[in-house]
Amino acid sequence: MKEALDYYDIPNYREVFKLPKVHDYCVGIFVINEGQKFHDQLDRMKCYQLSADIVISDGGSSDGSTEPDDLKSRGVNALLVKNENGGLGSQMRIFFSWAIENGYKGVVVIDGNNKDSVENINDFVNKLIKGYDHIQGSRFISGGKAVNTPLSRLIGLKLLHAPMIRLASKFNYTDTTNGFRAYSLKLLLSNKMAIFRNVFTGYELHYYLAINAARNGYNCLEIPVSRSYPKGKVPTKISFFKGNLKVIYTLFKVCFNRYDPK
């Protein structure tokens, strides 16, 4: 299937281990040095009868949290480790390509920081089975829940991020910074989307997928999820000034078609 793609640029990575495939769908967890939070999330996931194999796309953790035997004991099916520079977008392309090459029919994606409602993973899988292509998790629709969301992030989301993506996509997204999502195989393999390009190394791929899935007529949907932040200072890998300015700049570029395929 990948042979039909006009673009197929995948960051260099290594498959540390792969256990036999069990399900038709898989859930990709993106991590880098998430430590105990990551382990707690995997332990929570073991409490549910998930309809998806668990795959870790690691950005290069050095904290010991991705030790293979430990991950296997927590129900992980595969560990992929990025071997070159690049951020979230690179980890996503690695996971998407691996899922395609291993015959999965669709994917769910989630952060590895133990903030998301892992019990909703099967809800995403069920929507993929029903034929949806881009499923966005939302804290702000009926049934969703936002716990201890930092005020600065809430303001940025409500006043800038969501309105811009709604305007660009013509779809009524409510939670555009939420990385708990799912994508169909049809969307991943689309030459209209062309997601396997090396311009996607950071957060721009999240924004691009939401906008261009709707623009290109794919079946888009929001479903309720929960996201809980710890009380007190919020741990984050995005610096307050430089990091947030980069997020805003990237958002504008995506909304104004700078990442569309030529």
72: domain CATH number is 3.90.550.10
The range of the structural domain enclosing residue 224 comes to: 7-255
Within a 10 A sphere around the Cβ of 223, how many other Cβ atoms? 20
Is residue 152, in this structure, part of any structural domain at all? yes
Residue 75 Ramachandran class (φ > 0 left, ψ -120 to 50 alpha, else beta): left
Pick the range with the lowest mean pLDDT from 80-84, 137-141, 230-234, 246-250. Answer: 230-234
| Residue 141 to residue 58: CA distance in whole angstroms | 31
Is residue 63, in this structure, part of any structural domain at all? yes
Q: Taking 70 as the threshold, does the pLDDT of residue 110 lie above it?
A: yes
Is residue 234, in this structure, part of any structural domain at all? yes
Q: Taking 70 as the threshold, does the pLDDT of residue 241 lie above it?
A: no
Is residue 76, in this structure, part of any structural domain at all? yes
Is residue 118, in this structure, part of any structural domain at all? yes
In the chain, the number of structural domains is: 1
Is residue 193, in this structure, part of any structural domain at all? yes
Is residue 101, in this structure, part of any structural domain at all? yes
Is residue 94, in this structure, part of any structural domain at all? yes
pTM, full prediction: 0.94
| Residue 66 to residue 200: CA distance in whole angstroms | 24
Question: pLDDT for 176-230, tens place per residue?
Answer: 999 999 999 999 999 999 999 999 999 999 999 999 999 999 999 999 999 999 9
Backbone φ and ψ for 259, nearest 5 degrees, come out as: -105, 5
